[in-house]
Amino acid sequence: MDSLLLMSELVGQIKAAARAIGFEVAGIASVEPLALDNIAFQQWSDAGFAAGMYYMTRRPELHAHPCALVPYARSVITLAVDYYHTYAPAFEHEHRYGRVARYAWGLDYHDVVKPRLQALVSKIEQLVARPIHARCFVDAVPLLERAVAASAGLGFFGKNTNLLQSQSGSWFFLSEILLDLDLPADNRQVKVSCGTCRRCMDACPTDAFPAPYQLDSRKCISYLTIENKGEIPRDLRTALGDWIFGCDVCQDVCPFNRFAKDTRWPELHPEAGTGPRIDLVELLSITTDEEFRSRFRGTPLARPKRRGLLRNAAVVAANIGATATVPTLIERIESEPEPLIRSHSLWALGQLDSRRGAAIAERALKCDPDGSVREEAEMVLSL
């Protein structure tokens, strides 16, 4: 009993230290396999819903087995970091900006959260008065981290597949520390649910939820604009609206998110990164990978690389009627070495200026060496 009491006190001290370091919520999870969650994940993957995210299915033995990932692990500390911010500035020339998902307004959370996890490990070593073996993860390993967090009471699954907290919603990042301390697991499943609400499903611009608690990544705007390495399907392009990087629609409409408070982490504030909007003309004018990396280094927007983000910019330009981008789109079509950018720029030009679009499509059909660009030219000419 004394030993159990001491461990319980230690857990309380660890959670207090986590809050002092900046984590909003901390929980202790078991390292036991997550059998049911693994079955659900496998069914999701088998249905093709992982789309092109092959890295998610590459190491299936790790998904539900913390000890397969870290053999010496005896428990998991799972932690949440709020990233919500109400920042909503007015923009001149609103019709030339693409919108960025809220999680990406500040600096890259992977880089921001990891040092604080390591600081917590150091604090735990002080508390137990000995070195410990631990590994820290921020959304970078195959572990089913939402399932781990849910098992420790950090939230419940919403119909939009996000983990929700009844008091603050879903605007938070998850991270984990797998360590060699045998801490008592919280084992407090949250009993709250979405009930009959289906606002997220009804609001999704691309109908990416085939059923409650299921997401088809092939239709998800966040997947299409970030993880997708190829073209954006033509039948989904207009549905992107002004979302140039990610999408927040299913979170914006969630009733639980009305309780969200601004993050305490200055690194996640919009002033620290790119903020909520990106100028399309400026973005489409970036001509080299070096310039792109310099512009977006240290932010989540570096993820899709220049080819992906400029692809997105072309689609958004067409969707919002950004005629100011027409000269830059023509430049991209005529001098851009990346076929993915050329093809999407050609599509956008055809939407924005059918006369010039047709003229340039004629030239592309005759001269462009890439089949996907010539195919896009044929589509423009058929309009």
| Residues annotated as catalytic (active site), given as ranges | 139
Residue 382: Cβ-neighbour burial (10 angstroms; 0-12, 13-18, 19+) = exposed
Angle at 70 between CA 26 and CA 178, to 5 degrees: 15
Q: Are 346 and 376 spatial neighbours (Cβ–Cβ below 8 Å)? A: yes
**Is beta strand 243-245 parallel, antiparallel or unpaired with respect to 97-100?**
parallel
Picking from 163, 173, 182, the residue whose alpha carbon sits closest to that of residue 77 is 182
Query: Which tokens sit at 359?
Result: 């003229």
Residue 383: Cβ-neighbour burial (10 angstroms; 0-12, 13-18, 19+) = exposed
Provide the CA 322 distance to its chain's centre, in angstroms: 26
Q: Are 160 and 99 spatial neighbours (Cβ–Cβ below 8 Å)? A: no
